[in-house]
């Protein structure tokens, strides 16, 4: 009897503390967890930050808080705009934190690092506030999606539309780092293809820059369009310098933001930005659907959402609908549904291509003159709507290995 008792005790001690989930359990650990890796304290915090987290939480609330009878959780972290920290956090979340999918990673370099981790872990990652188009081009993976916008679409829409309107000569004020170079390169190619010319560019370092000398060179070039190919706080300082020199508001030279956000315009004010052109995936006042959701967002955030935050909401809702349709949170099954199902994007319908690009309409907007604005967030007017198949990189030009040629 003593021997039988010892054998039983040893067997009990050797057994796992928690029984493994049943093979037919639809949700891997009883909870669907979505994560957002954000810049909450750095130079892009005002463009993503807490409002992007709110967008994900609103999607979960609007979905009902549960999927397939299981609770939905949202987790978040500040990656401090560091690629190594973003990758380490994603790895920990995927390997031990029970996170099933990421709905955003702020910044292009952190996003590219996280895409590699997602592919190794076979977990879903969706990018909304990262603009680098490599995510669905040469760096595409079977489990990563690019949702709201990318550098190719921003450059393509802005460049093509302004050349059509007579802006056939360009000068760039460009951030001297990878993303700035990408914005200038992509836009230059579009401008030349449309019959325009590039008169030159002026590269600036990050932070603490005297933009007046860069803008003076742009003025002296005689180019019809002065393109600001930088983002964040540097973009704001560049626009202040342009306003001080009287560029854009009147005269023959137009100002174009290759990557501008409604937040930038609100911070700067209409006096400093009137006449500026920018391309966006979303604007709160585009249609009844965008206005209704943005009003609810404003009530909680005390600011209107930008295109990245709108993307986080749309992507999170689409992911949860895909889990519901798949009957499981297993990556392969959910990804198949995300690719098959049409995407609801604030009154418009989008689709996910085989390269992971979510294709939808893009919009060229222009900043209003102060006397045309009816309120604090009535900042932009629509100049052109470009269908997704005309805005984003054609699959025929893709270097994504998932694309069938």
Give the pLDDT score at 9.
Answer: 34
DSSP states along 163-185:
HHTT--EEEEEEESSHHHHHHHH
CATH number for the 32-149+287-352 domain, one of 3.40.50.2300, 3.60.21.10, 3.30.300.30, 3.40.1190.20? 3.40.50.2300
pLDDT < 50: residue spans in the chain? 1-22
Q: What are phi and psi of 140, to 5 degrees?
A: -65, 155
Which H, E and C letters describe 131-160, residue by residue? Answer: CCHHHHCCCCCCCEEECCCCHHHHHHHHHH
Q: How far apart are CA 88 and CA 212, in angstroms?
A: 40
Give the pLDDT score at 215.
Answer: 96
Give the pLDDT score at 12.
Answer: 36
The DSSP H or E segment spanning 331 is: helix 331-340
pTM of the model: 0.92
Give the pLDDT score at 405.
Answer: 59
Strand partners, 227: 172, 256
Superfamily name with CATH number, domain 152-280+362-384: Response regulator (3.40.50.2300)
Whether 237 contacts 209, CB under 8 Å: yes
Return all residues near 16 (Cβ < 8 A) that are at least 6 apart: none
Q: Where does the chain hold its CATH 3.40.50.2300 domain(s)? A: 32-149+287-352, 152-280+362-384
The token pair at 19 is: 């029984």
The DSSP H or E segment spanning 46 is: none
pLDDT digits (tens, 9 = 90+) for 318-341: 999 999 999 999 999 999 999 999
């Amino acid at each position: 009897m003593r021997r039988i008792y010892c054998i039983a005790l040893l067997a009990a001690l050797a057994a796992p503390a928690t029984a493994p989930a049943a093979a037919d359990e639809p949700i891997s650990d009883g909870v669907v967890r979505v994560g957002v890796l954000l810049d909450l304290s750095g130079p892009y915090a005002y463009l993503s930050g807490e409002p992007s987290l709110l967008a994900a939480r609103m999607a979960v609330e609007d979905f009902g808080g549960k999927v397939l009878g299981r609770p939905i959780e949202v987790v978040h972290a500040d990656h401090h705009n560091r690629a190594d920290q973003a990758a380490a956090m994603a790895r920990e979340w995927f390997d031990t934190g029970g996170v099933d999918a990421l709905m955003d990673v702020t910044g292009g370099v952190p996003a590219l690092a996280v895409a590699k981790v997602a592919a190794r872990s076979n977990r879903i990652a969706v990018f909304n506030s990262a603009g680098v188009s490599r995510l669905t081009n040469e760096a595409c993976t079977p489990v990563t999606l690019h949702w709201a916008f990318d550098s190719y679409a921003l450059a393509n829409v802005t460049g093509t539309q302004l050349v059509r309107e007579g802006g056939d000569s360009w000068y760039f004020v460009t951030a001297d780092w990878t993303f700035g170079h990408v914005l200038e390169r992509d836009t230059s190619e579009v401008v030349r293809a449309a019959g325009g010319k590039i008169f030159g560019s002026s590269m600036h370092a990050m932070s603490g820059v005297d933009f007046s000398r860069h803008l003076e060179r742009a003025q002296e070039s005689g180019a019809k369009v002065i393109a600001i190919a930088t983002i964040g706080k540097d973009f704001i300082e560049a626009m202040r310098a342009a306003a001080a020199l009287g560029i854009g508001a009147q005269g023959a030279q137009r100002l174009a933001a290759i990557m501008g956000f409604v937040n930038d315009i609100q911070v700067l004010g209409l006096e400093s930005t009137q006449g500026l052109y920018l391309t966006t995936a979303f604007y709160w006042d585009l249609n009844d659907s965008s206005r209704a959701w943005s009003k609810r967002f404003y009530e909680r955030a005390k600011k209107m959402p930008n295109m990245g935050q709108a993307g986080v909401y749309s992507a999170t809702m689409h992911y949860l609908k895909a889990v519901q349709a798949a009957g499981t949170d297993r990556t392969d099954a959910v990804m198949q549904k995300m690719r098959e199902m049409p995407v609801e994007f604030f009154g418009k319908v989008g689709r996910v291509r085989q390269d992971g690009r979510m294709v939808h309409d893009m919009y060229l907007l222009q900043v209003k003159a102060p006397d045309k604005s009816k309120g604090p967030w009535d900042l932009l007017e629509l100049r052109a709507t470009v269908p997704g198949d005309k805005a984003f990189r054609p699959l025929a030009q893709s270097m994504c290995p998932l694309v069938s040629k």
